[in-house]
Chain A
C-alpha cells in the first residue's frame, strides 16, 4: 500500500468528522444565505436580498466596527498581561517544578465553565457589588458606578479574564525554548535587562505571540455569549446579530451575516499567518 494512502486511512476518522461537521455545514450556510424565509420556514431560492439588506443597513457596519473594537482592545490587554506572566514564569522562576506548578495554576481555570466564570463577575461589578462598595468606602466615589456591570467595560474585562491564558501558554512555550546562553552572552557583552528583552526575548517569542494573538482575536470575533451576558444585552457584536436572526428563525439572513463573519475572520488570520509558520512552532 502506498504511504500516502496509508496516511489518509489513518486520518480518515478525523477527515470524516471534519467533512460532515465542518465543511458540509459551511457549504450549507453559504447555500442558505441565498435562500428566502417566511415567518415560520425557509425555502430554497437564489436571491441576493439577504446580502443586499445586510450591506444596506447601517447597523451592520456599526456592529462589525464594535466587533473589531472588542477584538483589538482584548488583544492589547491579553497580550500585555499574558506576556508579562509568561516572562515571569520563564525567566524569573528558577526551578522547573515551580514553573510547571505555577503554569498549571494559570491553566486550570481554562478547564472550567466559561459561563460560570462570567457569572462570577456579578457580585464584583454590580451596583452594590464589591468594587463599588470598596470604592465608596475608600472615598474615591460618592455614588455607585453604573458602567461596571452590563457595559462594554464588563465585556472586555470578561474577555481578558477568559482568554489571557491563550496568550500565556504559547508565549511561555516559545520563551522556554530560548537558549539561556544567548541571554548570558548578551549580558556579558554589557546589554541591560531592557535591551535583552527588546532585542532577544521579544523577537524570539514572536511566534508564540502570534499564535496567542490568533486565538484571542478569533475567539473574540466569533463570540456572542460573553457579549450577551456581560453587556446585559445592551451591546451587540456580529455573533449576536447572527444569534438574534437564529432566534427569529431568519436562517437565511443569519447565514449571510455568518458568511461575511467567516470571511472576515479568515482574512484576519490569513494576514496574521504571514508572520509565523504555525506548523514549525509546535
Chain B
C-alpha cells in the first residue's frame, strides 16, 4: 500500500468504469423512464413525472396476466432451485471419484449447457405432443429449465469439490464415522455456504429463462414469456415499469442470497477462530 500506481492503472480503471456504465446504464435509463408522465413516450424527454405506468401494471386489463405469470415464475423458480441444489449435490458427490462412464456423463452435462436452447424447447414440445401429454410450465417447462440450471449447479459443485480438503472426512472416518455420518456431519456442513451459490443460479436462471420455456410452458405463460409478448404489442412505458419492477425483484433476491452467504461466512470464521483459541 502507498506505492504509487502506474499510469496503466488509471487507464484500465477508467475502462472498467465505462464497462460498468455500459452494463448498468440502460437498466438505469428505463428505471428513470418508467416514471414518465401519462403522456410520455418510450424515449426522453420526460413528459412529467408520475407513477402512472406502475399503476397501470396493477390493473389487469391493461397488460394481460402479469401477476399470474409472476406467481408461476416464482413457483417454478423455487421448484427449479430446490431440485437443482439437491441433484447437483448428489451429482457432485458422485463425480468425486472417477467411475465407469463418468467421462460420457460429463460431456453430456456440457452438451446440456451448450445446446441451443431452442432445440430443447422444440424437442421436449415434440415428445410431449407425440405422447399425447399437454405441455405445462410445471412439467415440461420445469424439466426443460433443469437442462439449463443443472449444468451450472454441477460446474459449481465440481469447483467446490476440487478445492475440498479430504482430510476432514478422513479424520471423521478414522474416528469411526460411517460414510453417511461423515457426509451428514462433515462434508455437507462444510460445503453448505457454497450451496447458496447453486441456489442463486437455480432460482435466477429459471426466473429469467425464456428460450427453453417458449414451447414447453403451455397455455399459462411465465413472466419472461409474458414480457416477450408485450415487446411486440405494447408501446408505452408500462413495459419499462414492468422491467424496472422485475429487475428490482431480481436485485432483492440476489441481495438476499449474497447477504446469507456473507453472514454464514462470517459465522464460520468466528467459529473457526473460537475453536483456534480453545485449542490454544
Q: Which residues of A contact B (CB under 8 A)?
A: 3-4, 7-15, 17-18, 20-26, 28-29, 32, 81, 84-85, 87-89, 92, 94, 102, 104-106, 108-109, 111-117, 119-124, 126, 128-130, 133, 161, 164, 193, 214-215, 218, 221-225, 229, 239, 242-243, 246, 251, 254-255, 258, 261-262, 265-266, 269, 278-279, 282
Contact = CB atoms under 8 A, between A and B. Distances in A.
Interface stretch (B61-69, B107-115, B270-278): B107-115
Contacts of A214: 114
A11, A102, A222 interface centre (most CB from chain B within 10 Å): A11
B250 interface: yes
A92 B15 contact: no
B122 A13 contact: no
Q: Sort A-B residue pairs by CB-CB distance and give the 9 closest, nearest first.
A: A25-B123, A222-B116, A120-B26, A10-B94, A7-B99, A111-B204, A11-B94, A218-B114, A21-B143
Nearest to A157: B22
B224 A22 contact: no
Contact of B114 (A4, A9, A225, A269): A269
A10 B231 CA distance: 43
B146 A11 contact: no
Given A123-B33, A218-B114, A85 B15 contact: yes
A85 B110 contact: no
Nearest to B86: A13
Contacts of B127: 24-25, 28
B101 A109 contact: no
Nearest to A81: B19
Nearest to B227: A115
B208 A282 contact: no
Contacts of A28: 123, 126-127, 130
A115 B124 CA distance: 22
A227 to B, nearest CB: 12
B78 interface: no
B1 interface: yes
B264 interface: no
A123 B122 contact: no
Interface stretch (B5-13, B49-57, B164-172): B5-13
B234 to A, nearest CB: 10
Main secondary structure of the interface of B (DSSP, over half): helix
Nearest to B205: A111
Contacts of B201: 111
Nearest to A264: B116
Contacts of A246: 118, 122, 215
B126 to A, nearest CB: 5
B29 A120 contact: yes
A193 B120 CA distance: 46
Interface string B169-181: 0000000000000
Nearest to B158: A282
Contact of B43 (A12, A126, A265): A126
B16 A113 contact: no
Contacts of B110: 269, 278
B16 A21 contact: no
Given A17-B87, A120-B26, 8 more contacts: A14-B154, A18-B147, A28-B127, A32-B126, A85-B16, A92-B5, A222-B116, A223-B211
Contacts of A104: 258
A117 B24 CA distance: 9
